[in-house]
């Protein structure tokens, strides 16, 4: 197939070899002082080697007083040039156009003094930022200009001004955050003054031949925020000012699900915004927003709705995304499931990790190399840990047998994917199954091995990936017919009545609530903690909370179940006061415990080396299971 994705494009003196863009994404890999780390270089190098056409290096801070959650790249002093130069030099041999995003966090700083056009906090509970004076605005303009000068000296092909997502430049553009009455506020002309001064200053400082890209929130989806009608005009003014390309994003802090869309957002959800901006300008437009599905990305280009495609988390999930497109190996692309765990780690000032890609952050230290000696490896359990271990071991050349007691592979992946907002997880399950089939893993379904049967298969190594089973505490009434387990409901092994009390408001409890809500049940959630959604990434957790509230789900936090009686669930609050909740069914979502049904493998006299991975060691996330499976199999 001839891919539009692989066609070159030329603009502003840049020749990009294909239409695949790696957009800026903070990963937490910078050194604590804001300089470039070797780990960061390896992360970007892996993607450059895959063949992406353009890389925009992440969020680089222009002001020493205002930073985000950290650690983040910085460029407010010449001392940062050398590290950035090392990064560019590492990538350039791979024929990739490399840009640097310049940003000022504005009122969204967490490690500095929040400043903004106007003293309006990002939320009712947020700190009130200090309104910038005219002189301070001019200083910040000069910081952007000097940042661009340093970027050019470091060897970057262009800079991108971050004018989206509610950071400072976006704050000036948005009528929701800019209430100034001087020349930097009021009309669109006034709100545009700050970004236009930045563009003009860069042009004067580094020359007309140095491209400037602009990232724009086409809509903010908040009252009085930026709308598409206005951002089309903004895009036209930016083009007249000399901006070379526009990357069309959306949202601000209050609408994070438009910035970093979880899996419940549709694929290509911002494409029409990109198309609207493209119809207003003559410069290239980059589309973003869950475009890691190759077919969707290709269709966007063929329909003329954008000129380039930003593949962000798709390149986190699979650094060889571009290479596999070039080789027509679409089925081998490890799918990003938009679970947002990478985002969640970074938002907590941790290094990004990926649910489906155990290599992330360990590029060039984690390797899948041919095994020195081929061994027969028996894996017991076909959930995420067992499937990933089988995939990696078989890819290395081992003979792999996989035994699963159920009649299908996937294990807890099917439980996780049952909630309507999480169906994307099925794509990862399907990928893992395709890969073990490709590498000729022998699979036995519906099998529970005895000790004799296992040893009769003559394994060299045994891997236990038997998962976990629901934890059922000693609870009066737990054995009543009206009581069901969460995973039995999610897997449709049982049914429940119209009024349901869910005991446990963690990840599984929220999954059950969403599943039942879509089926018209009246719900109450009992949760011992002060909030629901423990273990759920922050953007999805906030979304679910408001969805539940809008739907009338009764959320009883700081409550625990005392006992269950026919037609009733009896709960206790923090003061041990009883609450009788009428219900037809009670669903227990109280966590999991390791499945020890293959404990005989752990006996001292067992003659074969045995390893345990995943939930049978300690119940955790899909990320934990995949990471353990990959790392163990890579060493055997």
Number of domains in the chain: 3
Q: Which pLDDT tens digit goes with each residue over 33-49?
A: 999 999 999 999 999 99
- What is the C-alpha to C-alpha distance for residues 579 and 534, in angstroms, rounded to an integer? 23
Q: Cβ(636)–Cβ(375) under 8 Å? A: yes
Whether residue 121 is found in the same domain as residue 251: yes
- For the segment 114-126, the average pLDDT, to the nearest whole number, is 92
Residue spans of beta strands (DSSP E) within 348-427: 376-380, 399-404
Domain that holds residue 253: 4-347
Query: What CATH number is associated with residue 141?
Result: 3.20.20.70
In a domain, 359, yes or no: no
Q: CATH number, domain at 602?
A: 3.40.50.720
pLDDT of residue 548 exceeding 90, the answer is yes
Mean pLDDT value across residues 585-612:
93
Is residue 23 domain-shared with residue 127, that is, in the same domain?
A: yes
- pLDDT band at residue 396, thresholds of 50, 70 and 90? very high
Distance (Å, whole) CA 355 – CA 338: 9
Tokens of 129: 């930022």
Assess whether 141 and 36 both reside in one domain.
yes
Asked if residue 281 is part of any domain, the answer here is yes
Among 556, 20, 489, 513, which Cα is nearest to 288's?
20
> Would 163 be classed as within a structural domain?
yes
Whether residue 585 is found in the same domain as residue 601: no
What integer is the mean pLDDT of 431-436?
98
Tell me: do 261 and 312 sit in the same domain.
yes
* Per-residue confidence band for 605, with pLDDT thresholds at 50, 70 and 90: confident
Q: What is the pLDDT of residues 243-264, one digit of tens each?
A: 999 999 999 999 999 999 999 9
The answer to whether residue 221 is catalytic is no
Same domain, 177 and 275: yes
Give tens-digit pLDDT for 185-238: 999 999 999 999 999 999 999 999 999 999 999 999 999 999 999 999 999 999
- As given in the structure block, the two tokens for residue 418 are 């049952």
Are 434 and 529 within one domain?
no
Distance in angstroms (rounded) separating the CA atoms of residues 117 and 471? 52
Flag whether 97 is in a domain: yes
Going by pLDDT thresholds of 50, 70 and 90, the confidence category of residue 371 is: very high
- Flag whether 352 is in a domain: no
Task: State whether 578 and 607 are in the same domain.
Answer: no
CA atoms within a 13 Å half-sphere pointing along the CA-CB vector of 569: 27
Q: Which residues pair with 285 in a beta bridge?
A: 246
pLDDT tens digits along 466-479: 999 999 989 999 99
pLDDT surpasses 80 at 1: no
pTM: 0.95
Cβ 20 vs Cβ 5: under 8 Å: yes
Residue ending a domain, among 347, 368, 385, is: 347
Q: Is 175 in the same domain as 322?
A: yes
- CATH code assigned at 566: 3.50.50.60
Please check the confidence at residue 437 and state whether its pLDDT lies above 90.
yes
Residues 445, 631: Cα–Cα separation, whole Å: 25
Q: Is residue 300 part of a domain?
A: yes
Residues 25 and 87 in one domain: yes
Of 350, 354, 353, 351, which Cα lies nearest the Cα of 335?
354
Which pLDDT score is estimated for 364?
84
Residue range 309-339, pLDDT digits in tens = 999 999 999 999 999 999 999 999 999 999 9
Residue 235 lies in a domain: yes
DSSP 572-621: E-TT--EEEEE-SEEEE---EEE--TTGGGGSTT-SS-EEE-GGGTS---
361 found inside a domain: no
pLDDT 10s digits, 488-524 = 999 999 999 999 999 999 999 999 999 999 999 999 9
| 299 & 395 share domain | no
For the chain, the residue count is: 636
121 plus 59 within the same structural domain: yes
Catalytic residue among 167, 258, 431, 545: 167
């Amino acid at each position: 197939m001839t891919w539009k994705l692989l066609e070159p494009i030329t603009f502003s003196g840049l020749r990009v070899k294909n239409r695949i863009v790696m957009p800026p994404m903070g990963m937490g890999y910078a050194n604590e002082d804001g300089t470039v780390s070797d780990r960061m270089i390896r992360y970007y190098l892996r993607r450059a080697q895959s063949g992406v056409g353009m890389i925009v290096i992440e969020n680089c801070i222009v002001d020493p007083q205002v930073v985000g959650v950290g650690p983040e790249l910085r460029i407010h002093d010449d001392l940062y040039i050398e590290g950035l130069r090392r990064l560019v030099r590492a990538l350039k041999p791979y024929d990739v156009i490399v840009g640097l995003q310049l940003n000022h966090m504005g009122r969204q700083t967490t490690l500095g003094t929040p400043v903004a056009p106007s003293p309006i906090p990002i939320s009712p509970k947020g700190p009130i930022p200090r309104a910038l004076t005219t002189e301070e605005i001019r200083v910040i303009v000069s910081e952007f200009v000097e940042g661009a000068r340093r970027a050019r000296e470091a060897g970057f092909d262009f800079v991108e001004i971050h004018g989206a997502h509610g950071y400072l430049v976006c704050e000036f553009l948005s009528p929701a955050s800019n209430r100034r009455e001087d020349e930097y506020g009021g009309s669109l002309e006034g709100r545009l003054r700050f970004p236009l001064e930045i563009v003009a200053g860069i042009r004067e400082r580094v020359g007309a031949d140095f491209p400037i890209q602009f990232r724009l929130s086409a809509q903010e989806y908040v009252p009085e925020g930026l709308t598409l009608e206005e951002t089309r005009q903004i895009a036209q003014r930016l083009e007249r000012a000399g901006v070379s390309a526009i990357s069309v994003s959306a949202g601000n802090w209050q609408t994070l699900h438009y910035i970093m869309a979880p899996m419940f957002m549709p694929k290509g959800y911002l494409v029409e915004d990109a198309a609207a901006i493209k119809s207003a300008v003559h410069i290239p437009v980059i589309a973003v927003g869950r475009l890691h599905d190759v077919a969707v990305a290709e269709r966007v280009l063929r329909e003329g709705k954008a000129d380039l495609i930003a593949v962000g988390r798709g390149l986190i999930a699979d650094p060889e995304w571009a290479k596999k497109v070039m080789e027509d190996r679409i089925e081998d692309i490890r799918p990003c499931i938009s679970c947002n765990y990478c985002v969640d780690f970074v938002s907590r000032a941790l290094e990004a990790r990926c649910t489906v890609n155990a290599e992330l952050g360990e590029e060039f230290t984690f390797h899948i190399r041919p095994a020195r000696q081929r061994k027969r490896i028996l894996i017991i359990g076909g959930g995420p840990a067992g499937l990933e271990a089988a995939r990696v071991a078989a890819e290395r050349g081992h003979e792999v047998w996989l035994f699963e007691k159920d009649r299908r592979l996937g294990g807890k992946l099917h439980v996780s994917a049952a909630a309507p907002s999480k169906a994307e997880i099925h794509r990862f399950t399907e990928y893992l199954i395709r890969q073990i089939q490709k590498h000729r893993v022998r699979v036995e379904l519906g099998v529970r091995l005895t000790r004799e049967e296992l040893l009769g298969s003559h394994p060299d190594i045994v891997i236990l990936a038997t998962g976990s089973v629901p934890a059922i505490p000693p609870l009066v009434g737990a054995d009543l017919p009206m009581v069901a387990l969460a995973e039995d409901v999610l897997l449709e092994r049982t049914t429940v009545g119209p009024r349901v009390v869910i005991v446990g408001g963690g990840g599984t409890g929220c999954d059950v609530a969403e599943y039942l809500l879509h089926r018209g049940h009246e719900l109450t959630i009992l949760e011992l903690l002060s909030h629901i959604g423990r273990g759920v990434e922050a953007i999805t957790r906030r979304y679910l909370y408001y969805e539940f509230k809008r739907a009338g789900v009764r959320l009883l936090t700081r409550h625990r179940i005392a006992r269950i009686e026919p037609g009733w669930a009896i709960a206790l609050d923090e003061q041990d006061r009883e609450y009788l909740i009428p219900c037809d069914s009670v669903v227990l979502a109280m966590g999991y415990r390791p499945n020890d049904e293959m404990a005989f493998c752990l006996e001292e006299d067992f003659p074969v080396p045995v390893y345990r991975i995943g939930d049978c060691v300690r119940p955790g996330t899909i990320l934990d299971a995949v990471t353990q499976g990959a790392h163990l199999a890579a060493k055997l």
